[in-house]
Chain A
Amino acid sequence: MRSDLFLIICLIVAGVVFAAAVLLGNDYYFFAGYVVLQYVVLSTAWNILGGYCGYVNFGSAAFFALGAYAAVAVHRFNPLPIPVLVLIGGVVSGIVGFGMGYLTLRLRGAFFAIATLALAVVLQTLVVNWEYVGGSRGAYIVRPEAIAPLGSYIRYLFLIMLLLAVGAITAARLIERSRLGYGFATIRDDELAAEASGVPTLRLKLIATTISGALMGMAGAPLPYYIGFLQPSSAFGLDYAVNSIAMPLIGGTTSWVGPLIGAVLLGSLQQIATVTISSAVNLLIVGFLLVGFVIIAPNGIIGLVHRYIRHQPDKLVGRRHVNIDAPGSTR
């Protein structure tokens, strides 16, 4: 399917989702849906570096929170419309992503993961000590009551996140099917052989960290408006890190579909659990699902579908069923 057609379909689906939420009449669905959509963006972003390239980022929360804090910082200076803040968040986190990549991408897999964790804490410490955005005490952002013609402000935020999610998925799919996606796959499979085949691995890895970071920053930018009170301990929370890893792993890391499935399923599950049981149990469920899936179904839900419905052996990735005569699978 061509990418522009895919985008149109996504937008139509998004429109349907929005309309359905409006029809349900309860603003709660917008609040809950916002979180799920936010995770769609985070998981998709994480998967670009983690699933496609094989580099595990434990510091997702940092890029996410930086987007939020960039928005706060700019808001304090001069309140700009949210879409602009989203772009700013993306730029800030993209730059940090590039910087992180530059510092750490020469490291072997496990070291890279640990370095991302370290970076997240360093960034968090910097923010905690930055009085302009409230430091450890936090920052209040007043959410406007309503915005025409959508109604309550939360609908506006929901719409923004919906469009971001569409954008993230489309971008991931585009990358997957392009020369870049092939390059990412070789980095994941065998970096040494990739270099020997002419793949500029460092450059591609930097592209991956930058895009991944930027998307996470964009997802974080509207957060201050959503929760009204931004605190480093919650914005940098490990919950974001664990979810952005668990959702792609549970959904399946080999294509854009996996993070989407993982985010929608796991995100909804957590929203239900928060309301019915408690929010601590949330993370327990996530932890168990993560461990369970990783042991039993390493290819995630996508892998299970392949195994049971298509009756094909559980190939470790097989996202491209290439026919030697297949046209148009590369630009």
Chain B
Amino acid sequence: MYSCSGPGWGMIFSFDLLVNAIFSGILIGAFYAAVTAGVSLSFGILDVVNIAHPAFIILGSYIAYVINARLGLDPILASIIVTPGFYVLGAGIYQIYYASFEKRGQESLRGLAFFFGLLFITEVSLVLYFGVDYRYVEAAYIGPTWHLGAVDIPLRVLVPCVVSLLLIAALQLLLTRTFVGRAIMAVAQDQLALKLMAVDPIRIKRIAFGISIATASLAGAFLIIIQPVEPSVGREYIGRVFAICVLGGMGSLPGTLIAAMLIGIVESVTSTFYGPSWAPAVSFGFLLLTLAVRPAGLLGR
């Protein structure tokens, strides 16, 4: 298939290009997994359709930018400092969501609209405050590129990739080894059983949602390290994030990681050989396909 907006006529197939595409796809995939981890928690486990999650990530990006610009702090460090604030924000949002919608059983239409509204409020507020210029951060690892044989590994992608993997690992440990984590997994399955164990399911869900938004702070830092950010960048992540979440089996972090890398690779290869204008269709197309064929995802429940 020839695309007029692709890199020249025909497919200039080079093995080097392919290897690089796959490799960068894997690296980006890890980052995508960190971005999606929050949604795996909120949508996959708690069944809350927080489509505003990408907006919180962008918020995280901007906060990291401001701290980095004013204080010169490393963006990832900056985001870690801000994480408790995001947690509180998430807990607060869930409380409103629960009281207004979940309790009344209206989460499908009005709950969705609520998050949609939050998405807009966040994005437009950022536009009004920061403008539409692209913002970027400064750090020692933004710029240099490692060369391993035929493969180029930009450090600004590698570092977030590695930290993303750490984040995912930490979350998985949290969910499987700690009491709170296991309570979160339990609340998705059987709220009544939790109540009988004298654990307030609402409190657990609030904690889980808080953690979900807290990951957005970190993911935002990763994002702005990898690429310059402006407020509407979040929109292209909405579909990507839910595609990965669904593909990954809704709430399974390992599944999310695999799905994220898969999408990262496919997007990267498509972009390299067919041009970047087709890339958005890849993840969304994947999502549609998954929903149509196997809504339970690759490692589904």
List the interface of chain A (C-beta within 8 A of B): 50, 54, 56, 58, 103-104, 107, 109-111, 113-115, 117-119, 121-122, 124-126, 128-129, 131, 135-136, 238, 242, 245-246, 249, 253, 280-281, 283-284, 286-288, 290-291, 294-295, 298
Main secondary structure of the interface of B (DSSP, over half): helix
* B52 CB to nearest chain A CB (Å): 10
A118-B242, A242-B120, A283-B123 known; 8 new pairs, CB 8 Å cut-off, are A50-B109, A114-B287, A118-B285, A118-B288, A122-B281, A122-B285, A125-B278, A281-B128
Contact with A along B228-246 (1 / 0, CB 8 A): 0000000110110011001
What B residues does A280 contact at CB under 8 A? 124, 127-128
Q: Is B110 an interface residue (CB 8 A)?
A: yes
Docked Cα-Cα span, A291 to B117, in Å, equals: 5
- A121 B281 Cβ-Cβ under 8 A: yes
Closest-by-CB residue of A relative to B5 is: A129
Number of interface residues of B (CB under 8 A): 46
From B49, B117, B236, contact of A290 by CB (8 A): B117
* A233 CB to nearest chain B CB (Å): 9
Docked Cα-Cα span, A198 to B51, in Å, equals: 35
* A153 CB to nearest chain B CB (Å): 32
Q: Is B69 an interface residue (CB 8 A)?
A: no
From A122, A136, A249, A253, contact of B288 by CB (8 A): A122
Known contacts A129-B5, A284-B124, A287-B124; A107/B291 CB under 8 A: yes
* A133 CB to nearest chain B CB (Å): 14
- A245 B116 Cβ-Cβ under 8 A: yes
- B100 A295 Cβ-Cβ under 8 A: yes
What B residues does A249 contact at CB under 8 A? 109-110, 113
From A104, A242, A295, contact of B292 by CB (8 A): A104
Q: Is B14 an interface residue (CB 8 A)?
A: no
CB-defined A-B contacts under 8 Å, sample of 24: A56-B109, A56-B113, A58-B116, A103-B288, A103-B292, A107-B295, A110-B108, A110-B112, A114-B291, A118-B288, A121-B236, A121-B239, A122-B281, A131-B4, A242-B117, A280-B127, A281-B128, A284-B125, A287-B118, A290-B113, A290-B120, A291-B118, A294-B100, A295-B100
Q: Is B32 an interface residue (CB 8 A)?
A: no
Most buried by A among B4, B49, B112: B112
Docked Cα-Cα span, A107 to B100, in Å, equals: 25
What B residues does A298 contact at CB under 8 A? 104, 106, 110
Closest-by-CB residue of A relative to B286 is: A118
Closest-by-CB residue of A relative to B47 is: A110
Contact with A along B157-185 (1 / 0, CB 8 A): 00000000000000000000000000000
Known contacts A56-B109, A298-B110; A115/B288 CB under 8 A: yes
- A283 B280 Cβ-Cβ under 8 A: no
What A residues does B227 contact at CB under 8 A? none
Known contacts A50-B109, A121-B281, A131-B4; A283/B295 CB under 8 A: no
- A126 B113 Cβ-Cβ under 8 A: no
What A residues does B243 contact at CB under 8 A? 118
What A residues does B291 contact at CB under 8 A? 104, 107, 111, 114-115, 118
Closest-by-CB residue of A relative to B109 is: A56
What B residues does A242 contact at CB under 8 A? 116-117, 120
* B240 CB to nearest chain A CB (Å): 10
- A135 B5 Cβ-Cβ under 8 A: yes
The 4 A-B residue pairs whose C-beta atoms are closest, nearest first, are A287-B120, A125-B281, A290-B117, A291-B117
- B295 A111 Cβ-Cβ under 8 A: yes
Instruction: Give residues 119-137 of B contacting A (CB, 8 Å).
Output: 119-121, 123-125, 127-128
Known contacts A121-B280, A122-B281, A131-B4; A283/B109 CB under 8 A: no
- A114 B242 Cβ-Cβ under 8 A: yes
* A217 CB to nearest chain B CB (Å): 20
Q: Is B3 an interface residue (CB 8 A)?
A: yes
What A residues does B3 contact at CB under 8 A? 129
Docked Cα-Cα span, A294 to B96, in Å, equals: 11
